[in-house]
Amino acid sequence: MAIGLIIIGDEIMSGKRSDQHFPNVVQILRERGLGLDWARYLGDEPERIVSVLRETFASSDIVFCCGGIGSTPDDHTRQCASIALGKPLELHPEAESKIRERIADTATDRNRIDYDSPDNVRRLKMGEYPAGSKIIPNPVNKIPGFSWGTHYFVPGFPQMAKAMIAWALDTYHHSLFHQVEYGEKSVVVYGAVEAKMTPLLEKIEARFPTVRVFSLPHMGNTRLSNYVEMGVKGHPDRLDDSFRMLLDGLDEIGAQYHLD
């Protein structure tokens, strides 16, 4: 079961807003011994959103989808999820209750609330989800997100989405936490060409199937500031041996390196 992230919004694609969902989700997952396997960014284009959701609904992945669940014309996620699932949109009774609470909380006169006014009818549409959905509580303004299977739909506001994603993980996927042991060791290599070290990395992965290698080049302003961070990551039981192989290989080719 992989974990994926879908981030929706023209404002992200145009650069008008800087995405905060990705680092938030990575942090939330890391705290629970989990990791993100894939991420996709989409604009507010219904056909593309439907296509991606059809693909992910057909998988067994845990998917967090951020953005587009509001009630303005550029919010398409609820409708797209409905189409992708082939399920009609229905006003969820718990969502209706929470949205009515929010309307009352923000009313200037709680004794004269018209829930049938155009504005409030529009607000209640935010509680319309594909039939069979469950709600995701929103601790910030009470207007819920929703889930279908292992898909979790939350607002585009990072401060709301972060808390709601954490809740979904803690509520539905606690059994997955800290099930896979993970470690990482790295070394900073100076003045080396990545291509020269690639065969060494390939040999390490071939010898240690539970370990993955990584190579992160840094391009500085001068030749002396150029370096490559190289390392191994995976099950802690094999890290020492694979890292030793990395260091021995670097010694063989005369690479200059620094251990943190």
pLDDT digits (tens, 9 = 90+) for 241-257: 999 999 999 999 888 89
pLDDT class for 21, splitting at 50, 70, 90? very high
- As a three-state string, the secondary structure of the chain is CCEEEEEECHHHHCCCCCCCHHHHHHHHHHHCCCCCCEEEEECCCHHHHHHHHHHHHCCCCEEEEECCCCCCCCCCHHHHHHHHHCCCEEECHHHHHHHHHHHHHHCCCHHHCCCCCHHHHHHHHHHEEECCCEEECCCCCCCCEEEECCEEEECCCHHHHHHHHHHHHHHHCHHHCCCCCCEEEEEEEECCCHHHHHHHHHHHHHHCCCEEEEEEEECCCCHHHCEEEEEEEECHHHHHHHHHHHHHHHHHCCCEEEEC
Stated pTM of the model: 0.85
CATH number corresponding to 3-176: 3.40.980.10
Q: Which CATH architecture has domain 183-259?
A: 2-Layer Sandwich (3.30)
Domain edges within the chain: 3-176, 183-259
What is the pLDDT at residue 238?
Answer: 86
- pLDDT (tens digit, 9 = 90+) per residue, 126-136? 999 999 999 99
